[in-house]
Amino acid sequence: MVYVKNGLEISPYDGKLRILSGEYFLSKGQKGKALDEYKLALKDENWRSSAQHLIIQLEKPESEEEKAEREFFNRGREKND
């Protein structure tokens, strides 16, 4: 993540770096920050379609089945973290 942060200091609207930053936040469970990074990636014409796809994936409503699966697979995770 250090390299991504350094890159963003030099080129704050680099879509690839914004997407990588978003992926990092998403891996840490910070969906809101990830979404913010993907929205900033929209400013880079070369990465706009990738950013749009990632935004759609994050914003799509979760079905009851998906919610139940997420809860099932994440049970006990909070206790272990």
One-letter amino acid identity for 81? D
Lowest mean pLDDT across 24-28, 52-56, 74-78: 74-78
Please tell me the pTM assigned to this model. 0.74
One-letter amino acid identity for 48? R
pLDDT recorded at residue 79: 54
In whole angstroms, how far apart are CA 14 and each of 32, 36, 72, 81?
Answer: 19, 14, 37, 33
pLDDT recorded at residue 81: 47
pLDDT recorded at residue 27: 94
CATH code of the domain occupying 2-80: 1.25.40
In whole angstroms, how far apart are CA 71 and each of 19, 39, 66, 67, 68?
Answer: 26, 27, 9, 6, 5
Residue 77's pLDDT band (cuts 50, 70, 90): low
Name the more confident of 77 and 36: 36
